[in-house]
Amino acid sequence: MTLHPLSAPPRLEGQVALVTGAAGGIGRATALTLAEAGATVIATDIVDTADYGAAGSGAPNAGGTIHYRRYDVTSAAETEALIADVSETHGGIDILILCAGTISHRPLTEASDDEWQAMLAVNLFGVVNPVRAVFPKMQARGYGKIVALGSIAAKIGGVASGPAYVAAKSAVHGLMKWVAKAGASSGVYASVVAPGPVETPMWQTVTQRAAPSANGNVPLGRYGQPEDIAQAILFLSSPQSNWITGTVLDVNGGMLMD
């Protein structure tokens, strides 16, 4: 069995991180945070461009860089092509962060088959596709950290989201535990960050419905910000967490206390 190194400060110089769903919200904040920690970040999303405060790819941050790539996580073919290109260009992927997601509110009896398929395509297979491509490469190299974005909804049965979203995120939680067990002996870590309500464009669609009150339902008295989640992701993807794998880290302002 691999002897895992002791936990250490969260510096990522010399490491390559691939982030999905990185054009905005939590994904964008995560790409910036990892770059600030020194990583070379391949930031991806389905939109054509993303603004990181500088024109084009290679926008410099404190110690690292961000290179933006358009990528559809639901496409197995695009996944294989992207991973092959990044591996050839940068020598491999050390960190895989899975933030791509979409939300549905429709109740069980109203959600169509197409809506279920769309939720599963992005929220579940948008994790399965990159993990399936990157995981064996990390095993072969003897190191890798994978962090998927889960949700408090998967643990409590939804906040204001519908069953398709809850089911997809619950599957992500289980999948990452499988990956953690399968990868532990070869130096591959896998965990989940499960946010509560975070003020992102996606969350705006929730606040128009029966959303929790920051003062009434969140003990810490405010909604989360993307940076709150990005720092938790940095912890699980950095040497700080070298004795942690297979965990679901709740970052929710105290809404759920396990």
Per residue in 158-192, pLDDT (tens digit) is 777 889 999 999 999 999 999 999 999 999 999 99
Per residue in 202-240, pLDDT (tens digit) is 766 665 554 555 556 888 988 899 999 999 999 999 999
Contacts 24+ apart (CB under 8 A), 173-182: 173/248, 175/124, 175/127, 175/128, 175/131, 175/148, 176/146, 176/148, 176/150, 176/246, 176/248, 177/246, 179/131, 179/135, 179/146, 180/245, 180/246, 181/246, 182/135
Instruction: State the catalytic residues.
Output: 165
Domains with residue ranges and CATH for the chain? 16-250 (3.40.50.720)
By C-alpha distance, which of 102, 229, 210 is closest to 165? 102
Predicted local distance difference test score (pLDDT) of residue 53 = 61
